[in-house]
A and B are shown apart, each in its own frame.
Chain A
Amino acid sequence: AQKVTQAQTEISVVEKEDVTLDCVYETRDTTYYLFWYKQPPSGELVFLIRRNSFDEQNEISGRYSWNFQKSTSSFNFTITASQVVDSAVYFCALNTNAGKSTFGDGTTLTVKP
């Protein structure tokens, strides 16, 4: 069975602080994909990044960076110099089955001005 754990239910930071959102996954499959999604207050989920199980390279996109470590089954997401617009619910997800993905319960990030 697959499982995604986002232990941080809520995080609150002040603007310009760095913040890391944790994601730990469980699967017995050797081929899988990991994802991060952002859900702003408007409600629509937005895809941020995909990582496959064979690529452990970390990735940076502007203020966003992702750290994928198979040894610890983690796929953490860091926002550098956070901004108020980063306030949202962030979901980590795992796909090992063509039919469906397993989502974490989400982390609510609040960035205060």
Chain B
Amino acid sequence: SQTIHQWPATLVQPVGSPLSLECTVEGTSNPNLYWYRQAAGRGLQLLFYSVGIGQISSEVPQNLSASRPQDRQFILSSKKLLLSDSGFYLCAWSQVVRGGRVSYEQYFGPGTRLTVT
């Protein structure tokens, strides 16, 4: 069966410090991978998605970046955090339907609560 891991679960970082959040998926190959942010009481904001190693699409301009060094590893980074980066970060994976036009449902990790102080 497939599982998705995220760490750390919670993080408190000062403004201006760097960030690295990691997400790994087990039990599947060639997944689509996603990073979302959810502000308190708000919906999901798609930050990045990846359809393959080294292939990253950015959805919103910001001081965050993402990388996919391996098929089942997805990393979210920042060189200098801002107060507005606080939120709940969710990683997810999905399989692409044969033919590649659409993808199936997404499976989410447990999330990381980031507080920038």
A residues with a Cβ closer than 8 A to B are: 31-33, 35, 37, 42-47, 50, 91, 93, 95-101, 103-106
Could you jot down 15 A-B contacts, CB within 8 Å? A32-B102, A35-B106, A42-B110, A43-B90, A45-B108, A50-B105, A91-B43, A91-B44, A95-B104, A99-B49, A101-B94, A101-B103, A103-B44, A105-B43, A106-B43
CA distance A48 to B42 in the complex (A): 20
- Total interface residues on B, CB under 8 Å, equals 29
Knowing A44-B109, A45-B90, A50-B105 are in contact, say whether A100-B100 is a contact too (CB < 8 A).
no
Count A-B pairs with CB separation below 8 Å.
73
CB distance from B11 to the nearest CB of A (A): 14
Q: How far is the CA of A101 from the CA of B100 in the complex (A)?
A: 14
Residues of B within 8 A of A47 (CB): 105-107
Closest to B55 in A: A99
If A100-B59, A104-B43, A105-B43 touch, does A33 touch B104 (CB 8 Å cutoff)? yes
Question: Does B103 lie within 8 Å of A95, measured CB to CB?
Answer: yes
A48 vs chain B, min Cβ distance (A): 9
User: 8 closest A-B pairs (Cβ-Cβ)?
Assistant: A105-B43, A45-B108, A47-B105, A98-B96, A103-B44, A43-B111, A50-B105, A98-B103
Closest residue on chain A to residue B95 by CB atoms? A98
Complex Cα spacing A37 to B105, Å = 9
A35 to B106, CA, bound (A): 9
Kindly state the separation between the CA atoms of A106 and B43 in the bound complex, as whole angstroms. Answer: 6
Measured in the bound complex, the distance between the Cα atoms of B111 and A45 in whole Å is 9
Give the complex CA separation of A47 and B103 in angstroms.
14
Residues of the B chain whose Cβ atoms lie less than 8 Å from the Cβ of A95: 102-104
Chain B neighbourhood of A103, CB < 8 A: 43-44, 46
Chain A nearest CB, measured from B44 CB (Å): 5
